[in-house]
Amino acid sequence: MTIKDTEHQPDAAAFRESFEAFYTREIKAVIGLAYVLSGSRLGAEDLAQEGFLAAYRHWDRISRYDDPGAWVRRVVANRAVSGFRRRKAEAKALVRLRTPHHYVPEIPAESDALWQEVRRLPLRQRQAIALRYLDSLKTDEIAQILECSENTVKTHLRRGTERLASKFTTGREDWT
C-alpha cells in the first residue's frame, strides 16, 4: 500500500469531516462485502463498522493512503471470514438492537445461494471473488488489499470460479 506524502496534519474539525466523508462514501459497499463474506445479515453492519472504526483510530495515517477504502476492505475481508468475529459482531448487534433484527435486507434466493457457495471456498478464493465481483476491483487492486501478487489473485479467481462452476453444473448448462 503506497502512502501519499501530504505533509498535512488535519485539525480536529478537518479530521472528522474528512473521515465522515470517507465513511459516507464507502459504508454501503463495505457492508455488502462483510455480508457476502460472513453470510450474516445481522452482523454485517457491525463487521463493516469495526473496519471503519479501525480506520478512524488511525485516520491521520490511513487518510494519507492512496486508497483508504482498500485498507478498510482488507480489515473487513479478514474479519468477516472469521467465525469468531462473525459471532461477536452478531452478539454486539443483538446488544444494540435488543431483539434480533436484520439490518441487511434479503437478496434473491438464487443469488444468496451462490454467495453461500462462495463462502464455502477456501479463504483467499472467497475474498478475491467477493472483491472482484462485488466491488468490481481489478486484479492489481485486489492484490493490494489481500497483500499478494497479481498472479496469485488470478489463480485464486480462476480456481474459485472453477469450483463454483462445478457446484452449479446442472447438466443442462455449461457454467464454465
Partner 1 sequence: MTMIEDRLEEAARDVRQAMAGVAARSAGQVKARRQRQNVVAALTVTVVVAAGFLAVERAINAGSMADPVPPPVAAAPADDTTPNTVEVTPAPEKTEVARYWAAVLANWVDAVGRMNTFGPYERELGASPADFSETGDARTAEGALAATVISADAALTVTAEFHKRAEDQDGRAAMEAEVSELMADDATRHVDTIGHGHNLDSELTGEVELAEYFLTEPDRGSALMTVVFSRGRLEVKVDATDPSQLLTQDQIVGIATGMTGTAHSLIWDPDHSLTFTVWEPPEPTDDQWVPLDDDVSIAWVDEGGNDRLWVRTDIQEPTPAVSSDTRSMNAYAGDEFVVIVLGPPIPDFVTVIWDDGSSESSQLDWDTELDIGLARFQARDAALVSVEGP
DSSP, collapsed to helix, strand or coil, labels residue 65 as: strand
Residue 123 touching partner 1 (CB under 8 A):
no
- For residue 47, the minimal CB distance to partner 1 (Å) is 10
**CB of residue 49 vs partner 1: minimum separation in angstroms?**
4
Rank residues 104 and 148 by Cβ distance to partner 1 and give the closer one. Answer: 104
In the 8-state DSSP scheme, what is residue 3? B
For 26, the grid coordinates are 464507502
If one asks whether residue 6 binds partner 1 (CB under 8 A), the answer comes out as no
26 lines the binding site for partner 1 (CB under 8 A):
no
Does position 4 bind partner 1 by CB under 8 A?
Answer: no
Which residue pairs from 77-81 have beta carbons closer than 8 angstroms and sit at least 24 positions apart in sequence?
77/33, 77/37, 77/127, 77/130, 77/131, 77/145, 77/146, 79/34, 79/47, 79/50, 79/51, 80/33, 80/34, 80/37, 80/38, 80/44, 80/47, 81/37, 81/38, 81/123, 81/126, 81/127
Q: Is 71 in the site for partner 1 (CB under 8 A)?
A: no
Q: Measuring CA to CA, how many Å separate 47 from each of 13, 100, 126, 148?
A: 26, 16, 17, 23
Q: Closest Cα to residue 114, out of 49, 172, 160, 64?
A: 160
Binding of partner 1 at residue 138 (CB under 8 A)? no
Q: Is 120 in the site for partner 1 (CB under 8 A)?
A: no
Q: Which of residues 79-118 bind partner 1 (CB under 8 A)?
A: 82-85, 87-88, 91-92, 94-99, 103-108, 110-111, 114-115, 118
Query: Which residues make up the interface to partner 1 (CB under 8 A)?
Result: 12-17, 20, 23-24, 27-29, 31-32, 35-36, 45-46, 49-50, 52-54, 56-57, 82-85, 87-88, 91-92, 94-99, 103-108, 110-111, 114-115, 118, 129, 132-134, 136, 161, 164-165, 168, 173-176
